[in-house]
Structure 1
Amino acid sequence: MMTLAIFGGTGLTGKLVLEKALKKGFKVKALVRNPDKLKINDSNLQIIQGDVLNLEDVQKTIESSDVVLSLFGHVKGSPKWLQSRGTENILEGMRQSKVEKIISLSGGGLPFPEKDEPKFPDKMIRFIMKVAVPKVLDDAVKHAEILKNSNLKWMIVRGPRLTNEQPKGKYRVGWVGVNASTKISRTDLADFIVKQIESDEFIFQMPFVSE
């Protein structure tokens, strides 16, 4: 069974992805800043204490893994370029360990002009993000550029407003403004992400997953 390197496994969505991956029988190496936030006892889980901005910690996590899941994001007090710098470290670790595939989690504000057809509400949301949380949006855009230029098999999973509602067990996979709604439960989004581990359907793309 494959080994996954997970970054951001203590987040609200990341933890659900990690739990689902373990249930499916994957081995998981999770880099976390605070191991106390991950109270999961599983023989297939290896917890590594460290920081995604520390290259040595990242390399240790990716070593001997098959696929990388990059699920970390900004929290209060995060450095401005957290996602892009962390992504650079992850890609360096992947090259050193010859790991080819990475799935990264981002938000619907990140554009994918190749497939998106944003409607007025979508444009308004992006405008609000530019005003309210410019560093998060700028960082997401830069991290996407880094992945596109990596020569590795990348996929960026985007979602709208994430809720803690009960999962519906089904969801739409489209693009911003195309076959999409304005929300999704974190559990359903986690389900989609785990399914991509063994699928290359959306490699080099940014699917938008919503209910």
Structure 2
Amino acid sequence: MKNISKIAVLGGGGKTGNYLVKHLLKEGFHLKLLLRNPEKFHIENSNIEIIQGDALDFESIKALLKDCHAVLSTIGQRKDEPLVASQVTKQVMNVMNEYGIDRYVLIAGLNIDTRFDKKSPKTLMATDWMKSNFPLIQEDRQKAYKLLENSNVNWTQIRVPFIEFTDKSSEIVVNIEDCLGDKITAKDISKFMIKEMIESKYNRQSPFISNL
């Protein structure tokens, strides 16, 4: 894989995204962030370039990914807004192919199903709760996974349980078939995303990560 120095970040204005941005800067990366409301973003660093726009807008995605070597996404579904998962995934992969970008790492919930899963009763309960209470969001996220599966992109979709927004860090447990813990810190999500971006250990897979 070619050297990764400039990274496109989706969701960098969110709670998990803020941890990711700070960790990327600490590691010395140059970042491009797509923000709908840049005035609400309060991390200042000369290695950040901000693109004002919306992830659902194709031209915004093109502007974000231009001259980047990888794409990281912590983007989530906002309440009472259009569905984002499948549309953003489709647009990102189309632009990646156009620009020759190889690496895409994103996070999702436990509710995504893959053919490799052997979910425990606890994980199945969380999955079924999402399907029952948010069926449209669930279907859209599952559609996004299918788009990834059917693509030629070097992607990793990381499935996470309850997120704790803290600077604490502990051992990260990774499993392809099931989520072995009940929570994960935002800091540890960031660490794993960056490591996976570089190493591609779980290329074209959707591992669960958690803290024990």
Would you say 1:23 and 2:26 are equivalent positions? yes
**Could you report, residue by residue, the CA deviation over 1:138-182 in whole angstroms, capped at 9, with x for unpaired residues?**
11111111111121101101101112245233211113536x111
The equivalent of 1:197 in structure 2 is 197
Q: Of the candidates 30, 33, 38, which is equivalent to residue 36 of structure 2?
A: 33
Deviation at 1:100, TM superposition (A): 1.4
Cα distance in structure 1, aligned partners of 2:208 and 2:134: 20
The equivalent of 1:93 in structure 2 is 95
Deviation at 1:52, TM superposition (A): 0.8
**In structure 2, the residue corresponding to 1:193 is in which secondary structure?**
helix
Runs (5+) with no aligned partner, structure 2: none
**Contact in 2 for aligned 1:8/1:70 (Cα 8 Å):** yes
Q: Of the candidates 64, 67, 71, which is equivalent to residue 68 of structure 1?
A: 71
The equivalent of 2:47 in structure 1 is 44
The equivalent of 2:119 in structure 1 is 118
What is the identity, as a one-letter code, of the residue corresponding to 1:95?
Answer: N
**In structure 2, the residue corresponding to 1:39 is in which secondary structure?**
coil
Deviation at 1:136, TM superposition (A): 2.0
**Could you report, residue by residue, the CA deviation over 1:52-110 in whole angstroms, capped at 9, with x for unpaired residues?**
11111110110100001122110112213x11111111112111211111111101111
Cα distance in structure 2, aligned partners of 1:201 and 1:171: 15
**Contact in 1 for aligned 2:16/2:165 (Cα 8 Å):** no
The equivalent of 2:207 in structure 1 is 207
What is the identity, as a one-letter code, of the residue corresponding to 2:196?
Answer: Q
Cα distance in structure 2, aligned partners of 1:97 and 1:177: 34
Cα distance in structure 2, aligned partners of 1:135 and 1:50: 25
The equivalent of 2:137 in structure 1 is 136
Cα distance in structure 1, aligned partners of 2:39 and 2:157: 28
Stretch deviating more after TM superposition (169-178 or 33-42): 169-178
The equivalent of 1:145 in structure 2 is 146
Runs (5+) with no aligned partner, structure 1: none
The share of aligned pairs that are identical, in percent, is: 29
Q: Of the candidates 106, 109, 112, which is equivalent to residue 107 of structure 1?
A: 109
What is the identity, as a one-letter code, of the residue corresponding to 2:105?
Answer: I
